[in-house]
Structures are given as C-alpha cells and as structure tokens.
Amino acid sequence: MGQLVHTLPEGEPVRGVTLLAGEIYLLRYKERDQVEVYNVITYRLLRCLTVPKIRGFNDMTSCEHYHCVYISDYIVKCVHRLDIQGAFTRWVLSESPWGISVNTSYNVLATCPDVRKIKEFSSHGQLLREITLHDDVVNPQHAIQTRSGQFIVCHGSHDDPVHRVCMMSADGRHIVHSHGGHCGSDISQYNVPIGLAVDDNEFVFVADLRNRRVKLLSPTLEYVRQVVSRDHLKWRPYRLYLDRQRRHLYVVDNERDKMQRTNTAGRVVMFNV
C-alpha cells in the first residue's frame, strides 16, 4: 500500500491536479479562483487564478516543456491553456473533451467519449490527428500515450457492462492487452475506471471510482497490487497525478451526492508509492 504523505485542504469538488515548475496546480469546481497553486514542499497556498469563461471543466494536465497547464471543458467543448505567466487562451473542439494528457512530443491528447476518439493537438490548439478507437472501447474516460506510441485507455461509464483498461495500438484499431471486463468489485474488475497515471517504467496506476481504490498494473496490464484502498480515502478517487521524481501519487478524492449525482466536496491526498 502507498504511504500517506499529505492531504490538501477540503473544499469545493476537485476536477484535476498537476505539477508545474515546482508548484501544485489544483482545479476546483467553482465560479472564481478555480485554480489553486501550492508550494510542492511546504504545501502552502501561494495564489489563486480565475479561468475566464470556463463552465464544464473536467480534467487538468501540465507540460514542463511549454511551461503551461491545460484544462478540458466538456460544456464549452474546448481546452483552456494557462501559461506560467498567468495568460489564458483556449481552443474549441467539435466534441466534448473528457480526460487530457501530454505525450512525449509535448502535444495534448484529449479523450472524447461521445465519439470514441483521441484528438492530438499542438500546444496552441492545432489539430494534428484524430485516433478512432476500437469498437469495443465504449465511453473512454482517459488516455495516455506510451513512449512506444501505444495508448493506455480506461473505458466504461456507469451504465456500461464492460469496464476495462486497454493498451491500444498506435492507430487505435487494435487492443494489445487489457485488464478488466464485466463491471464488478473483484480484484480483476472495475466499476468506472476513470483516471490513469504511468511511471517511467510504464507501470500503470488506475483510479477505480466506485470501488474506491487505486490499482497498479504492469506494463502489459497484469495486476500487481492495490496501492490505495477505501481505507485511505474519505470519498471516491477521481483523478490521478504521479510526481515521478518524488514518487508521490496525487489522488483527487471527491464526495458524491447519490441523489443529485453531483460532487459536493473534494480534496487531494498524496501517497508515497
């Protein structure tokens, strides 16, 4: 199991967390000051930033090469870009983006579940290519590209029968490896695998939302162990970020109102893995 390191303050629901230039960027679901910036060593709140015209923000990632943070917005159907000097720009998509990541070419990968596509953009929003995923990959939530060009994709939403993590070929047409199957709570099953993180050796961390745990898979997607259990969490894991240098796993932990089907509070918990 991962060892608890620190917990950032509870507050509005958290939509994403990432690191940039030695600072923690945390995205909260609120009208103003959506981005909270903390010192990575002391965890002291440094400043808050307001993202203009944001409505349905859903994930966050960063790029050290271009010194910026990206935020996906599924209502406006765009990606917001925040550079380290605090300037905001955005680009529009034709479909709603969900999870986002940055590949080894420093391009942005936006996962679009409604059309089963991964869209690759330059840092300033030029569409470079679209990857249509295999027909069996329904409701993809998040995708990360490996150094070899393959994609790790988690898929399966609340009403879908199949919930899995898949390794896809570089063109998205073939499933190379997979872990999971029918929705469930056994060690080989998932109940909404919603977020991913990959380490330098291409081991895969998976946030298993409704089972309230984070699992570790091998580079060929074989089960290794559980790194975060429901005993470590107050609510449900939503997003992940791995600080590869310090081996700290940041887990977004959100409270869910089952009647309203909305998140009502959130925090970020850090584990040494």
pLDDT tier, 85 (very low <50, low <70, confident <90, very high otherwise) = confident
Residue 50 is encoded by which pair of tokens?
């307001």
**pLDDT higher than 70, residue 43:** yes
- Domains observed in the chain: 3-272 (2.120.10.30)
HSE-CB for 91 with a 13 A CA cutoff = 14
Angle, vertex CA 99, rays to CA 246 and CA 54, nearest 5: 105
What mean pLDDT is predicted for residues 211-236? 97
pTM recorded for the entire structure: 0.95
pLDDT above 90 as % of the chain: 91
CA pair distance 270, 268, nearest whole angstrom: 7
For position 84, what pLDDT does the model report? Answer: 85
Question: What's the confidence (pLDDT) of residue 259?
Answer: 59
Alpha carbon distance 79, 198 (integer Å)? 22
User: Which pLDDT belongs to residue 237?
Assistant: 97
Mean pLDDT of 32-49: 95
Tens of pLDDT along 87-124? Answer: 899 999 999 999 999 999 999 999 999 999 999 999 99
Q: What phi and psi, each to the nearest 5 degrees, are found at residue 26?
A: -120, 130
